[in-house]
Amino acid sequence: MRKATITGLGKYLPEKEITNKDLEEFVDTSDEWITKRTGIKTRRFAADDVTASDLGVKAAEEALEKAGIKADDLDLIITATITPDMMFPATACLIQDRIGASNAGAFDLEAGCSGFVYGITVASSFIESGLYDNVMVIGTEVLSKILNWEDRGTCVLFGDGAGAAVLQPTEKGGILASDLGSDGSGGDTLYQPAGGSLKPASHETVDNNEHYLYMEGTPVFKFAVKTMGSASLKVLKKAGLDKSDVDMLVPHQANTRIISSAAKKLKLSEDKVYVNLDKYGNTSAASVPIALAEAEEKGLINNGDTVVLVAFGAGLTWASAVMKWNDLK
C-alpha cells in the first residue's frame, strides 16, 4: 500500500546564542532555576530583521538537497508557525516564491507546537491518496519577537529556528499511523491575546503587552504530561505496535520533566529519547523537525527503526506519528 516517507530533512538555527547567564543580565531569573525547572541552557535568537520565512527558506533548501529534488518538483508546501511574517499572506507562500517552487500549492497550518506533526499527517494523506508525490512540511519560528521580557515564567523558555521535511511515496515503511487531538477549552492558557479580530492591535493592546505570547505554565505543564504519553501509546496501538518496538522517540522539546514523563510511560531508556532543548529551548513548531534532523544527522535513526514523533501545544493541541524509518537518499 502506498504510504508517505521522509526523504529529506533540513534545519536552520540562527547563529546568535543566548545563554541563561545572558538572560540573568535583564530578566529576574537564574541559570540554576532555568536549568532545574526546564533543562534549557541556551537558545538561539534571530537578528532583528530576520523573519520566519528567512529561517524556513534555509531549512527548506537543505531538505530539498537531501531529498535530491528541485523546488519546482514540489506539489505542496505546508508551513507550521505561530510567528508568521505577517497575519497574511501565508508564510508558506513567501517561502514558495523564494525557493522557486513554481508548481506548488502553499498554505500555513496553525496548531502551535504540534504544527509540524499535524503537517506531516496532512502531507501523508495527500501522498497516500495519490493526489501528490512531493510535499514539503516546514516548521519555522521567530519566537524571540513575541516574548514578554517582563514575564519571567515564559520569556526564558523559547528560542528561534526552523526545520523542514520532504515527504514522498513509498511502498515499504514510512508513516504508518498518526493521531491528532485538540481541546479548545484550554486555548486561553497559551495564546497571543491581541492582533487578531478579537482584539485588533491598538495603542492600548500594545501598552498592555497583549501582542506578546501569554502562557499559564502550570495548566499547560499538566496538560503536556497527560497528553505526551497517551498520544504516543495511542498512535502505536493504531499502527499495531507495542511500546517495546520503539527505537527512538522524538518529542516536542519544551521541558525535560515533560519529556521524561512521556519516556516513562513508554518505558524507554534515555538513549531512545532524543533531547536537544538544552541547546535551543522551545522552538514551537520547529522543535520536532529540528530534533529529527539532528538525530538523523548523528546516525541515531537507521533503516527499519520505529520512530515516534509526539508534540503538544497551543490550541490546545496534541499530535503523534509513528514511522518505520527509511534511510534518506
Active site residues: 113, 252, 282
- Strand ranges inside the chain, DSSP E: 3-12, 17-19, 42-44, 76-80, 105-109, 135-142, 160-170, 174-182, 190-191, 214-215, 248-251, 306-313, 317-324
Q: Per rule CB under 6 A, is residue 29 in the interface with ligand COA?
A: yes
Q: Per rule CB under 6 A, is residue 38 in the interface with ligand COA?
A: yes
The smaller minimum CB distance to ligand COA, of residues 68 and 153, is found at 153
Find the residue with minimal CB distance to ligand COA: 217
Contacts of residue 212, defined as CB under 8 A and 6 or more positions apart, other chains included, come to 146, 147, 148, 151, 192
CA distance 165 to 167: 6
Q: Per rule CB under 6 A, is residue 221 in the interface with ligand COA?
A: yes
Backbone angles phi, psi at 313, to 5 degrees: 180, -165
| Residues 81/141, Cβ–Cβ less than 8 Å | yes
The interface mask with ligand COA, positions 278-317, x = CB under 6 A, is ----x------------------------------x----
Q: How far is the CB of 314 from ligand COA (least distance, A)?
A: 6
Q: Per rule CB under 6 A, is residue 224 in the interface with ligand COA?
A: yes
Contacts of ligand COA in 50-109 (CB under 6 A): none
> Judged by CB under 6 A, which of 220, 228, 259, 262 binds ligand COA?
220
Q: What is the DSSP string of 308-323?
A: EEEEEETTTEEEEEEE
Q: How far is the CB of 261 from ligand COA (least distance, A)?
A: 11
Q: How far is the CB of 170 from ligand COA (least distance, A)?
A: 30
Residue 244's CB is within 10 A of a number of other CB atoms, namely 10
Count of alpha carbons within 13 angstroms of residue 21, beta-carbon side: 1
Q: How far is the CB of 300 from ligand COA (least distance, A)?
A: 24
How many residues bind ligand COA, per CB under 6 A?
22
Segment lying near ligand COA (by CB under 6 A), choices 92-100, 168-176, 219-227, 264-272: 219-227
